[in-house]
Structure 1
Amino acid sequence: MTEASSASGSEPRSIIELELMHRWSTHTYRSMCGIPEEAHYLSQVMPREALKHDFMLDGIFAVTALDIARSSQEPDATKYEHIALEYYNRGSASFRELLTDIPPDIYHLMFIFASAAAVMVLGLPQSTGGNGSGSGGVQTALERIITLADLFHGTLLIVHAGWDKIVDAYVPLRAALSTKVDKPDLLDTSQPVDRNELPFRFASLDLLDDDIRPVLARLDAVNDKVHATPRKGEPELSAAQEEERSAAHDMYRLSIFWLKEGFAEQKMDVVKGYCLSFFILAGQEFAAAAKSSQPLALFILMHWAVQLDKLGEEAWWARTVGRQLVHEVSEFLAVSPLSSMPETRDNVAWARRLVGLPT
């Protein structure tokens, strides 16, 4: 049991933690279930595991307190936001210490804490900074998403380092993988799972609605225009410049492919929150381009924000940030070189309309 703290006022910390654990096991865990098979683990098994590892217990309490805050009126909303931040800051500090030498038996808990951290980054109000720092500064939606991208990169490193431990732990990762693998027999618990040999299934782009197909086609067209080879009469590119142009075109084309997959997966509705895998799939180069405010990267990110806004209809922690991101990026694009392209203007209007912003 953790020590008392000023965040809870005069209420005993033991009472608050009993409330939080009850809320987690009966309600909050549902918001982190990507597939039905995760429900038993998250509600029953993981809390018992967390009792042995303070960082995971702090993660549970943080997400649950934020859940209560999001469904409460003042002054309880602010009270539970402060409690959420306190637990998250403490859990994050322990989490970072463990990253230097992760015990083999907690790789799966490290993976789950990273998922809880993503919920905190997306769900905290802007006035807290949204990154668990507790600094009180205002963080933009774009800054939150960059923080999220960095977090997912770190999560990927955890998965790569502890793959065998994670896939054989109590967490039903094999069940989650089965939604994206063409040969489920490769996930049989009697044999190891080679992540480099899994035949991943792509969602059929035939699932895409007719109204989104031209949107995505225009997105491809903008990439082609931005990275087009010089026309006749224009200066030729050097070998290094041509290599850079081709690499950037391919990087953005791959990002757009994963964006399309995200829309198709959202239509299938098999894995809740699948769109959050976009940054892992699109890769570090795309994340770096977004972090440096490259217009095309942000243009693509605006379309992803539409997926995030849709997720917010069923996940309380994603309820507002997608709309905020569309607003911020569309304002940025309005004064960028991309604004001269009709495809950009059409897609900005589409994104703003879908998230309920004036066009």
Structure 2
Amino acid sequence: MPRKVHTKSRYGCDHCRRRRVKCDEQGPPCTNCIVRQLDGCTYSRVLPAYLLKTRRASQDSAKTSPASPEPFGGSNGVGVAPRSPLPSSGVDELELMHQFATETYSSLCVSESEKVTWQKLVPRLALKHRYLMHGILSLASLHIATTLDPSQARVYVDTGLEYHSRSLQPFRVAIDNLTPENCDAVFAESVVTTTINLSLPQFTAGHGNEGRMTENMMTAFELLQGVKKILTIGQSWIRLELFSKGDFWKDTSAELDEDTDSALNQLLFLNDQLKSSGNEMQHGIHRDVINHLKHCFMKFSCSSDPAPVIAWLGAVDNGFVHGIRTRSPLSLLVLAYWGVLLAQLDGERWWARNAGKALVTEILVSLNTEDLLWEGCLAWVRRKVGLQDAQGNGVHSLEKLSYS
């Protein structure tokens, strides 16, 4: 009798080995730990030198070869997606594709003109790009989970997270190897991946994963940084008529309400005040990010769709992302302001439910300060998402603070 081929990861991280799941051994952190938001991804078993050499050669080959579309159905190029469900899942892929094509797609649209793009063109692209197929199946599975009671929803949450995990590594490879053939799929997957990360708070609450919204945003930031290359060197490659190609960035005669305008000016003033104690480059990065956020607030006041919310994530400078990663207080405060904008989608899009409030709540815990100027900004953030101040009272008004 032939010996059974071993398919498990022998040198996976400690978390995956304890959970008895296959690890991609790409960490630390590995993809499973990123998706399931687990701290302390460690490797007790060291990969042998001869395997490490082989793996590096394989990765180098993947990076240097053209990122041509990979047929979802395999190498035959037919592009027919298999019906087989995920191992131990039992959720049929046809059920998930039907969910995406009938309901989930509409939650990604920012205009009537995008309905054909998300309902028909993107699924067709997904037949040729495996990471995009896994992305939309993940989003559809999580969407179904929001309609079920917790006992029934668990299998769809787990399925959604597993598909999301499968999409990340090939998606990163595609980002590093942009071509005219894959840029549409990469662009669509960037939106899908972002919405998945925004949806996670409603599924992780009460399961020991509270306080991880900032990490979710870091994943979105890092992936979207690569996508920005499309908008700079590959704009002419994009054929999908999504918001970046339409009327979204055209100037419109919109004005912010006085309360929001005052709060954003307060944030700009705080950045100027911190300039003397910080470096000039960081001051400029924060100034540009805040001004762009102000523009997104203005765009949202014209139409309450997700375009300005997602667009801000993809447009921020890498230096700002570094500030979030290193827990820079001002960077976190700016992110909390964006959380206010995100919270306004709460009742509009299923994937934004609780996301803005979860992000703001997490950031406020680390930004409690007695400084009056900081407190003015924090008070506005608390009030906009319906939170109280640190003493459990009503929030302070910005009107008593002068920054002119």
Where 1:8 maps in the other structure, the secondary structure is coil
Equivalences, count: 307
Where 1:19 maps in the other structure, the secondary structure is helix
Question: What are the residue-to-residue correspondences of 1:82-121 with 2, within 5 Å?
Answer: 82-102=158-178, 104-121=180-197
1:149 aligns with 2:221: yes
Question: What residue in structure 2 maps to residue 309 of structure 1?
Answer: 343
Report how far residue 175 of structure 1 moved: 7.7
Identical-pair percentage:
29
Distance 1:175 1:261, change over 3 A: closer
Contact 1:127 1:137 in 2 (8 A): no
Where 1:178 maps in the other structure, the secondary structure is coil
Q: In the alignment, which of 247, 250, 271 is matched to residue 178 of structure 1?
A: 247
Distance 1:64 1:212, change over 3 A: same
Question: What residue in structure 2 maps to residue 272 of structure 1?
Answer: 306
How many Å separate the matches in 2 of 1:66 and 1:157? Answer: 29
Contact 1:35 1:270 in 2 (8 A): no
How many Å separate the matches in 1 of 2:243 and 2:292? Answer: 22
Question: What residue in structure 2 maps to residue 164 of structure 1?
Answer: 236
How many Å separate the matches in 1 of 2:181 and 2:151? Answer: 40
Contact 1:146 1:291 in 2 (8 A): yes
Report how far residue 103 of structure 1 moved: 5.3
- RCO (CA 8 Å, sep 6+): is it higher in 1 or 2? 1
Question: What residue in structure 2 maps to residue 213 of structure 1?
Answer: 261
Distance 1:90 1:355, change over 3 A: same
How many Å separate the matches in 2 of 1:54 and 1:251? Answer: 36
TM-score by length of 1: 0.77
Cα offsets for 1:219-260 (capped at 9, x unmatched): 12211211148xxxxxxxxxxxxxx63333222221221121
How many Å separate the matches in 2 of 1:332 and 1:139? Answer: 11
How many Å separate the matches in 1 of 2:84 and 2:173? Answer: 20
Distance 1:20 1:152, change over 3 A: same
Where 2:112 maps in the other structure, the secondary structure is coil
Contact 2:343 2:355 in 1 (8 A): yes
Distance 1:216 1:52, change over 3 A: closer
Report the aligned-residue RMSD: 2.6
Contact 2:137 2:163 in 1 (8 A): yes
Where 1:93 maps in the other structure, the secondary structure is helix
How many Å separate the matches in 2 of 1:56 and 1:5? Answer: 16
Contact 1:279 1:287 in 2 (8 A): no
TM-score by length of 2: 0.69
Report how far residue 93 of structure 1 moved: 3.2
Unaligned runs of 5+ in 2: 1-81, 390-404
Distance 1:174 1:332, change over 3 A: closer
Distance 1:255 1:84, change over 3 A: same
Distance 1:174 1:93, change over 3 A: closer
Compare 98-107 and 78-87 and name the one that shifted more: 98-107
Report how far residue 88 of structure 1 moved: 1.8
How many Å separate the matches in 1 of 2:102 and 2:202? Answer: 28
Amino acid at match of 2:241: P
Question: What are the residue-to-residue correspondences of 1:321-336 with 2, within 5 Å?
Answer: 321-334=355-368
Question: What are the residue-to-residue correspondences of 1:234-273 with 2, within 5 Å?
Answer: 245-269=279-303, 271-273=305-307
Contact 1:179 1:270 in 2 (8 A): no
Larger fraction in helix: 1
1:320 aligns with 2:350: no
How many Å separate the matches in 2 of 1:248 and 1:103? Answer: 33
